[in-house]
Amino acid sequence: MAQKTVANKKTTAKNQAPAPARTIWLATLGFYGRLYDEALTRTETQRARLEELLGDFIVKGTEIEEGTRVVFEKAQQETADNLKTARTQIEASLEERIAKLRSTLAVPALPASVFPANARIQELEAEVEALTKKVNTLTRARNAAQKTAAPRTAKSRTAKKAA
Reported as a single tens digit per residue, the pLDDT across 77-135 is 999 999 999 999 998 898 888 888 877 776 555 666 666 677 778 888 999 999 999 99
In the chain, the amino acid numbered 73 is: E
How far apart are the C-alpha atoms of 97 and 103, rounded to whole Å? 10
Confidence (pLDDT) at 160: 57
Three-state secondary structure of 106-148: CHHHCCCCCCCCHHHHHHHHHHHHHHHHHHHHHHHHHHHHHHH
How far apart are the C-alpha atoms of 115 and 117, rounded to whole Å? 6
Confidence (pLDDT) at 104: 78
Output the pTM of the full model. Answer: 0.35
Residue 110 has a CB neighbour count (10 Å cut-off) of 13
In the chain, the amino acid numbered 51 is: E
Using pLDDT thresholds of 50, 70 and 90, give the confidence band for residue 75: very high
Confidence (pLDDT) at 55: 92
Q: Are 118 and 110 in contact (CB under 8 A)?
A: yes
DSSP 36-90: HHHHHHHHHHHHHHHHHHHHHHHHHHHHHHHHHHHHHHHHHHHHHHHHHHHHHHH
Among the listed residues 71, 51, 53, the one whose alpha carbon sits nearest the alpha carbon of residue 61: 53
Q: Domains of the chain: which residue ranges?
A: 16-105, 110-163
33-64 pLDDT per residue, tens: 999 999 999 899 889 899 999 999 999 999 99
Confidence (pLDDT) at 148: 80
Confidence (pLDDT) at 59: 93
Confidence (pLDDT) at 156: 56
Cα dist from 158 to 22, 152, 162, whole Å: 149, 10, 6
